[in-house]
Amino acid sequence: MENYPIVPGRGLVTPTSTQLRHDYLKELGYCTQHISTSGLLHVDIQNKIESYIGSVEIPIGLVGPVLHIAEGKEEWVYAGAATLEGALVASMNRGAKAASLSGGIKTTFIHQKMSRCPLFIFDEPAAAGKFYNWLPAKFQVIKKEAEKYSNHAQLLSVEPIIVDNVVHTRFYYRTGDASGQNMTTTCTWHALLFIVDLFGKETGIVIKNYIIEGNGSSDKKVSLHSVSNGRGVKVMAECHLDEAAIINVLRTTSGDIMNYFAPSVILAKMDNMFGYNINVANTVAAIFAATGQDLGSLHESSVGLLHVEKTATGLYLSLCLPTLVIGTVGGGTSVPKQKEVLELMKCYGKDKLERFSQLIAAFALSLEISTYAAIVSGAFAKAHEKLGRNKPVNWLTRSELNKNLITEIIGKQSPEYNALSICFEEQEMDNGIITNLTRKTSNKLIGFFPFTAKDDRTELSLLVKSKATDQDVIKGLHALAASVDPVLSDLIYNYRNFTEYHNCHLKELFVYEDLHTNGLFVTPGYYGKKEDHQREIYLLITEFLDERAMYLFNAENNPEMWRPEDISKMIATITAIHKYYYLKAENIPEHLVQLFDPARSAPLYEKLISIIIKDEIDPVRIAQLERLPGFLQDIKTGIAENTLPVCLIHNDLNPRNAAIRMNGEACIYDWELVVKNIPHRDVVEFLAFVIIDPQDAAFLKKYLGLHAAAWGREITDNVWLRGYVHALKELLVCRMTFYKASEILMKLKFPNRVLDNCFAMLGHVEGML
């Protein structure tokens, strides 16, 4: 199907992209009135979901207390259970009461393992046999390699299984407090590559066919092997029920329970039921949903082995959960409400995994007790009728954004300023594509945080910008690109140091401070910065630009709003900055900002070009895009004339990053992509966004003439004009290809319009030549 619908802002989790999706669904006739009413902040779910449109609420019931016994210590414990099944929480509480009145539930943590099972295919069984015998002897070097890629994973064993010319390899890890699926995938992938290379060197046998997972780990599936050998946590819960509690709380007798239990076990065996339990899945699902666990692991985590036997004074019950895949860090555990439930259970964070598994087992046994007693007594249906009617560093934390830190930063820039109060706003802000991509792959505090600062005379509206490092940005781009083409993601990583993203976390801090110090007040007001390389903290405090107080703001999709005087002002402003950095090149640290040279990363742009041509269906657009390989060859040779100035340029000068104040002054921000280049590049990018009629050659000539005149040049100067040709080709190859490739996953309004403008501008300038 050629015209596959593209959902707006696909993958992004921002207020703007969410609203675009709501509008899109409304246009299609769908109603999201209730879904869109959510208490979640976008910042809290950035790397938890994609294409966010809202939330569904699952009520949480308080379960407990139950008297829990672990390692000889007794404790009253509670849990939150998220469910829409009436009578579930009541039943869990009834079982908890019966067990507690009988002396409590004792739990035992047995082990925690996580597995991955790479698959290797050989040309013949003999080669597979050689690999099978070779692998065990290399365990220690494989273990050392695998553990390089995590601070927490410990490789316990590697077990090969040979079938004809195929060798499966089960990697077993201990993964600390995380469930470990992602952690073990990363470690195993690098170990796999190491194994392929080492085996080839030592035996001369090249392993051509291998994959990270041959389905032998039973990831999110139930298997006898997982139960027998371990996957996730294995934990036991046991209790003795006194006859009095069975009669008074459960409303049945031990004799009646045993009378029905034994025949039901026989039928379960005849049916080949996997294990035996009543409804462990209900407890696991309710606690998983309430605590931010991976719901995809419910299936395997709900395996339960229930045992019941008669005693002289009542019943003995035990429940084994052999494959409980859980974590107390990572995933959804840090989302505020889920975190609160974990804290209620005293199970949030480091060194809490064992306790968490034990409490799940205790509450699961509570439900088993109550549900089976209800079935036996006939209360099961009645209860439903009554209640069921309807590897990281010490990163900056949100709590550290406080008065002390703000005062420290502003004080370095303005020692006389003494803020009496600091108040952070609750409003959410759009953080830009790059920041949002980064936040999907990082748990760091990244983004914009508006606040007000008051002293005895003034009240300032300010903004903290917490920046991602260039490595974080590359990780975000890599993840996005992997959804487009795996080769593209590798190229982005391989050429990361030759892109404009290199040092992006340092460049913007430098530019703001340098321009402000030297009297070029063309950015939002600058109030200071903080750099802590060890903790990867890069903060910038600036004036908060209130859209209501700006004449033009975020107008990248509204070229008609740009008046001639606004365009002229923006060109004059950016030219003043260009000339400043041209005349004072020594102000730019050599190690910080590099000369932009597409030749050094040509394979990356070649790949981008091939992707967007392949994805395009419009013949006219394809014809346009097929010119790009030639443009790449042109810009790889650089500027032939050496008379054009090279200076620091903004390198992302579009109306998303450039505004006009009410007084007509230009304001330029988001300087993280600055590079050394010819000044023409900023000018053509800005004009490509604000041109209304791409065929209006007079419009283009007017503003290029203004730009040339500001440099003391003539617009008819061919050397100067060739600079615009070079800049337009570079813009098309090195920036527009990124935009077009991004459209494969998300809907953007401007790329085709700007693309048309670029090609039209190029034709006009070449005509001038």
The strand ranges marked E within 100-153 are 105-116, 119-121
Which is catalytic among the residues 75, 85, 513, 634? 85
**Do residues 68 and 76 lie in contact, with contact meaning Cβ atoms separated by under 8 Å?**
yes
Dist. CA 715–CA 737, nearest whole Å: 29
**Do residues 467 and 438 lie in contact, with contact meaning Cβ atoms separated by under 8 Å?**
no
**Do residues 540 and 464 lie in contact, with contact meaning Cβ atoms separated by under 8 Å?**
yes
Residue 745, both tokens: 């996953």
Q: What angle do CA 718, 721, 723 make, to 5 degrees?
A: 120
The count of other CB atoms within 10 Å of the CB of residue 368 is 25
φ, ψ (nearest 5 deg) of residue 100: -65, -40
Q: Is 384 a known active-site residue? A: yes
Q: Which helix (H) or strand (E) holds 286?
A: helix 280-291
Q: Which helix (H) or strand (E) holds 542?
A: strand 537-543
Dist. CA 307–CA 184, nearest whole Å: 33
Length of the chain as a residue count = 769
**Do residues 44 and 55 lie in contact, with contact meaning Cβ atoms separated by under 8 Å?**
no
The count of other CB atoms within 10 Å of the CB of residue 76 is 11
Query: In angstroms, what CA-CA distances link 311 with 107, 242, 245, 314?
Result: 20, 9, 14, 5
Residue 328, both tokens: 């107390």
Q: Is 294 a known active-site residue? A: yes
The position carrying tokens 């429940």 is: 319
- Strands 647-649 vs 675-677: parallel, antiparallel or unpaired: antiparallel
- Listed residue (184, 181, 171, 300) closest to 234, CA to CA: 300
The position carrying tokens 């299609």 is: 28
Which is catalytic among the residues 243, 384, 543, 556? 384
Dist. CA 526–CA 543, nearest whole Å: 6
Residue 601, both tokens: 């990363």
Which is catalytic among the residues 145, 242, 294, 300? 294
Longest dimension (CA), the chain: 106
- Strands 60-70 vs 105-116: parallel, antiparallel or unpaired: parallel
Dist. CA 112–CA 106, nearest whole Å: 19
Q: What strands, in cross-sheet order, belong to the sheet with 537-543? A: 421-424, 447-454, 459-466, 537-543, 526-532
The count of other CB atoms within 10 Å of the CB of residue 564 is 10
Q: What angle do CA 173, 175, 176 make, to 5 degrees?
A: 145
Q: Is 478 a known active-site residue? A: no
The position carrying tokens 């000889």 is: 72
Active site residues: 85, 294, 384
